[in-house]
């Protein structure tokens, strides 16, 4: 206990066990329960016992903390227990973090508007738009309270960074107890004081109800009688932090601490999942008359159905319309490849505006700037969509060239015109912004990281079109993103319907861009920027297996939440994969730099995504058909308590596209024979590994009910320091493993230690 109070004292803090009594969901009384002493509260005698032990991981020293509460005699209704960490000398510029829920205390401008939130009046447009959210939980500068549960976070964690003290603090807890999820509360206690409160059970006065005013919760406390007891287990870290980034670095050291368990299962090999989803797109999504894959299945959402959003038909970027054709061209059957080519033909023939930007959405016949239920006014176009298209469009033209397909020169010119539009936007505005006029290219709304993928796309353009101008703009714009977003610990504007709230999509887009710059330049500047951004992106990724309600869709399927990626602070759900990337930039960063955080993230994300694909032998809900994947991995009750582990409403194009990209861009197994390093990403088990010198033997097992064709990338440690070229995955080896079968691979069968193996 003395050690705990000592490290807290460096932050002008202290810890106290507390007892709480509620009326319904409102706190009526609280008292401090002195550690290792008895206290009378609510007609009962209580005892609290505190145990503290020291540990260390990496550069982070931390304390394991166990606090036990027991009722010695008497009884009390509607009560709970907790631990309060109170900090004096609190400054308004302290950065408060609850991973995936709260960034910088969510102290942003707010705009109260229904879903989908959008600036519709041109008088609202600003090139210097401040970060703006809908009504999300916020810790105001004068007073305020943020009430969350552990289910509202990617990792049950609270913390802060103090710029004035140059120190940081992190608190990690278990998900909950027999009472349900723990509560995570941060509240200002008058001038100059703030406390972080862990409670059991969670009893919030209000909960976050998607784009609505704060809604009274149905949380309730519990009754206690003599002999009842509970133990709260925590990990506490207080540390020197010369800059904000240290908070994220220490977070990554502890996000998989001993409080959490993660036991991934092998359910569906990538190759089997690919077949299911390819069949689904040809069965449910193909529109032959106009020659494109629509985003939602024909019998789920159609343009002709009244009151259905236009955005479910086709969007070029963000959710998959111009992206999904890459894996289809790379590994689809003859029918799929032919249709993917028609999909590209439609894009190039019908969707480019005079400015060079491409229309954001359409119905196969007419195309529009952007919109949801109807096209937006003022030619509003989401910059991220054209950025995605430039990035993935170049990948596709490169693939077609390598396949020996004759690419129309008009396609090359169209993508170059798009790259030029971004250069012109940068030269005119000094940013890529969030929304532009698609016809003129004029910046309408700026101030976000929506265009985080654009520097990466321009890196590809500089190589593909042999024009160094694109690289110069890529570097200049990436430095601006680093200064204005990375260094501030906030990435915003990735999705098109959250105003400019903090989100994961912009974070991972910046990872993609920084890694692309690293690969192109070899500069330590971009290696450092990429590593830092990876650690911020990690706050959006679930690090443990959440305990879903046993009767929920994901509970019934025994889903493992590790690797699910949270969307943003407004749409409070985890999701299968990254919107809309495979995350191979994480793998590529690890190859070049040995960044273990990046490798751990992509291993979790890539391994977990197949379990969310609904199958004929195992539909995930009554709304889910074979080959469908829904974007919901709900840990939070933002859609109501019955939505936890559920709300699987149907097919979502973007996680399906992310899964298709995963099967293409992530090797099923990665092997370095000379070092003995092996990482398995696919749903295959590595039962044993033998390594001696340059010789290696792998014993693999396919425990699933599906035959697998596993892609294997084999290379030496020396070759791993060479950047992978575009579409290098086309040369990866494949090994077949029948369902339930075991296969042994050795150095001879892997054909390893071939120098300069990658296509140059």
The angle formed by the CA atoms of residues 204, 210 and 213, to the nearest 5 degrees, is 65
Please say whether the beta carbons of 515 and 530 come within 8 A. Answer: yes
Cis, bond preceding 57 (omega within 30 deg of 0):
no
For tokens 């029948």, name the residue.
738
| CA quadruple 265, 268, 270, 274: dihedral, nearest 10 | -150
Task: Look up residue 704 and give its two tokens.
Answer: 């699933």
Please say whether the beta carbons of 403 and 397 come within 8 A. Answer: no
For tokens 């809900």, name the residue.
621
Q: Comparing C-alpha atoms, which of 241, 267, 93, 243 is closest to residue 167?
A: 241
| CA quadruple 289, 294, 296, 298: dihedral, nearest 10 | 10
270-665: which CATH topology? Glycosyltransferase (1.50.10)
Please say whether the beta carbons of 314 and 361 come within 8 A. Answer: yes
Radius of gyration in angstroms for the set of CA atoms belonging to the chain, rounded to a whole number: 26
Instruction: Give the containing element (helix H, strand E) for 679.
Output: strand 677-680
Q: Which residues contact 580 (CB under 8 A, 6 or more apart)?
A: 317, 318, 319, 320, 323, 388, 654, 657, 658, 661
* pLDDT-flagged residues of the chain (< 50): 299-306, 752-760
For tokens 């609280």, name the residue.
30
Let me know if 410 is exposed, middle or buried by CB neighbors in 10 A (0-12, 13-18, 19+).
Answer: exposed
CA 659 to chain centre: 14
Please say whether the beta carbons of 481 and 510 come within 8 A. Answer: yes
Task: Look up residue 172 and give its two tokens.
Answer: 């990690």
Let me know if 421 is exposed, middle or buried by CB neighbors in 10 A (0-12, 13-18, 19+).
Answer: buried
- Reduce the DSSP state of residue 512 to 3 states and report it: helix
CA 668 to chain centre: 21
Dmax over CA atoms of the chain, in Å, equals 84
Question: Which pLDDT score, from 0 to 100, does residue 35 have?
Answer: 80
Please say whether the beta carbons of 580 and 567 come within 8 A. Answer: no
- Measured CA to CA, the distance from residue 258 to residue 597 in angstroms comes to 17
- Measured CA to CA, the distance from residue 46 to residue 36 in angstroms comes to 10
The count of residues in the chain is 760
User: Which residues lie across from 73 on neighbouring strands?
Assistant: 45
Q: For the chain, what is the total number of helices (H) and then of strands (E)?
A: 16, 35
For tokens 């991981």, name the residue.
57
Q: List, edge to edge, every strand of the sheet that includes 361-362.
A: 314-315, 361-362, 367-368
Report the relative pairing of strands 685-692 and 695-701 from DSSP bridges. Answer: antiparallel
User: Which residues lie across from 718 on neighbouring strands?
Assistant: none
Task: Look up residue 186 and give its two tokens.
Answer: 């941060």
- Measured CA to CA, the distance from residue 605 to residue 281 in angstroms comes to 23
Question: Which pLDDT score, from 0 to 100, does residue 755 have?
Answer: 38
- Measured CA to CA, the distance from residue 743 to residue 697 in angstroms comes to 10
Task: Look up residue 676 and give its two tokens.
Answer: 């003995």
2-101+137-254: which CATH topology? Beta-galactosidase; Chain A, domain 5 (2.70.98)
- Measured CA to CA, the distance from residue 219 to residue 184 in angstroms comes to 13
Q: Comparing C-alpha atoms, which of 588, 725, 563, 584 is closest to residue 660?
A: 584
Domain ranges of the chain: 2-101+137-254, 270-665, 669-750
- Reduce the DSSP state of residue 337 to 3 states and report it: helix
Please say whether the beta carbons of 589 and 169 come within 8 A. Answer: no
Q: Which residues contact 279 (CB under 8 A, 6 or more apart)?
A: 626, 627
- Measured CA to CA, the distance from residue 33 to residue 139 in angstroms comes to 27
The one-character DSSP state at 360 is S
Q: What is the SS3 string spanning 610-676?
A: HHHECECCECCCCCCCCCCECCCECCCCCCCHHHCCCCCCCCCHHHHHHHHHHHHHCCCEEEECCCC
List pLDDT tens digits, range 481-509.
999 999 999 999 999 999 999 999 999 99
Q: Right CATH number for 669-750 from 1.10.150, 2.60.40, 3.30.70, 2.70.98?
A: 2.60.40
User: Which residues lie across from 690 on neighbouring strands?
Assistant: 697
- Measured CA to CA, the distance from residue 230 to residue 223 in angstroms comes to 13
Q: Comparing C-alpha atoms, which of 50, 53, 46, 52 is closest to residue 36?
A: 50
- Measured CA to CA, the distance from residue 198 to residue 203 in angstroms comes to 11
Report the relative pairing of strands 145-149 and 292-293 from DSSP bridges. Answer: unpaired
- Reduce the DSSP state of residue 455 to 3 states and report it: helix
């Amino acid at each position: 206990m003395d050690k705990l109070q000592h490290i807290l004292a460096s932050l002008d803090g202290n810890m106290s066990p507390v007892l709480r009594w509620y009326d319904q969901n409102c706190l009526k009384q609280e008292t401090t329960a002195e550690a290792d002493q008895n206290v009378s509260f609510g007609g009962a005698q209580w005892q609290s016992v505190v145990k503290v032990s020291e540990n260390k991981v990496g550069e982070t020293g931390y304390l394991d903390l166990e606090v036990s509460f027991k009722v010695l005699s008497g009884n009390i209704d509607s009560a709970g227990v907790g631990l309060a960490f109170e900090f004096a000398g609190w400054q308004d510029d302290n950065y408060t973090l609850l991973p995936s829920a709260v960034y910088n205390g969510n102290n942003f401008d707010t705009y109260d508007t229904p879903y989908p939130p959008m600036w519709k009046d041109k008088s609202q447009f600003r090139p210097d738009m401040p970060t703006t959210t809908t009504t999300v939980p916020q810790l105001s500068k004068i007073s305020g309270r943020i009430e969350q549960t552990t289910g509202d976070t990617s990792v049950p964690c609270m913390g802060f960074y103090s710029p004035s003290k140059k120190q940081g603090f992190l608190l990690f807890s278990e998900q909950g107890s027999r009472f349900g999820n723990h509560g995570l509360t941060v509240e200002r206690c008058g001038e100059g004081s703030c406390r972080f409160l862990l409670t059991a059970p969670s009893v919030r006065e209000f909960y976050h109800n998607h784009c609505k005013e704060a809604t009274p919760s149905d949380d309730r406390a519990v009754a206690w009688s003599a002999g009842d007891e509970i133990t709260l287990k925590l990990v506490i870290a207080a540390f020197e932090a010369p800059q904000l980034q240290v908070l994220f670095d220490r977070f990554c050291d502890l996000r998989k601490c001993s409080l959490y368990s993660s036991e991934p299962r092998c359910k569906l090999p990538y190759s089997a999942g690919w077949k299911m989803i390819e069949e689904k797109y040809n069965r449910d999504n193909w529109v032959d008359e106009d020659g494109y894959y629509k985003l939602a299945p024909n019998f789920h959402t159609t343009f002709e159905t009244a009151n259905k959003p236009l955005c479910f038909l086709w969007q070029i970027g963000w959710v998959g319309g111009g992206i999904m054709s890459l894996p289809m061209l790379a590994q689809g059957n003859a029918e799929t490849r032919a249709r993917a080519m028609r999909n590209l033909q439609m894009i190039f023939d019908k969707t480019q505006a005079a400015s060079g930007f491409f229309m954001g959405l359409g119905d196969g016949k007419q195309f529009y700037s952007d919109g949801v239920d109807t096209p937006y006014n003022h030619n509003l176009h989401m910059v991220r969509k054209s950025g995605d298209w430039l990035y993935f469009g170049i990948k596709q033209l490169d693939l077609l060239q390598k396949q020996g397909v004759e690419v129309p020169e008009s396609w090359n010119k169209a993508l170059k015109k798009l790259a030029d539009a971004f250069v012109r936007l940068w030269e005119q505005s000094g940013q890529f912004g969030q929304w532009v006029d698609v016809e003129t290219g004029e910046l309408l709304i700026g101030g976000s990281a929506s265009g985080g993928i654009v520097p990466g796309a321009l890196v590809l353009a500089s190589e593909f079109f042999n024009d160094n101008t694109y690289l110069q703009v890529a570097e200049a714009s990436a430095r601006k993103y680093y200064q204005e977003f990375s260094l501030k610990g906030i990435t915003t504007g990735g999705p098109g319907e959250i105003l400019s709230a903090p989100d994961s999509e912009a974070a991972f887009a910046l990872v993609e861009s920084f890694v692309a710059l690293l690969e192109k330049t070899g500069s330590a500047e971009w290696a450092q920027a990429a590593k830092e951004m990876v650690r911020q992106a990690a706050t959006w990724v679930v690090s443990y297996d959440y305990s879903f309600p046993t009767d929920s869709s994901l509970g019934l399927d025994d889903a493992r939440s590790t690797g699910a990626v949270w969307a943003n602070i407004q749409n409070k759900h985890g999701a299968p994969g990254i919107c809309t990337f495979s995350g191979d930039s994480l793998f590529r960063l690890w190859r070049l730099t040995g960044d273990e955080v990046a490798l751990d993230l992509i291993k979790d994300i890539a391994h977990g995504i197949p379990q969310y694909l609904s199958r004929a032998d195992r539909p995930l809900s009554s709304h889910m058909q074979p080959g469908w994947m829904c974007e919901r991995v709900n840990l939070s009750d933002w859609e109501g308590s019955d939505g936890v582990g559920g709300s699987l409403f149907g097919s979502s194009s973007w996680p399906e596209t992310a899964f298709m990209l995963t099967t293409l861009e992530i090797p099923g197994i990665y092997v370095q024979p000379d070092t003995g390093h092996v990482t398995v990403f696919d749903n295959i088990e590595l039962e044993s590994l033998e390594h001696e010198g340059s010789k290696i033997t792998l014993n693999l097992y396919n425990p699933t009910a599906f035959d697998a064709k596993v892609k294997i990338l084999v290379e030496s440690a020396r070759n791993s320091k060479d950047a992978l070229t575009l579409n290098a995955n086309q040369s990866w080896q494949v090994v077949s493993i029948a369902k339930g079968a075991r296969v042994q691979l050795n150095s001879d069968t892997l054909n390893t230690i071939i120098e300069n193996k990658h296509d140059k």
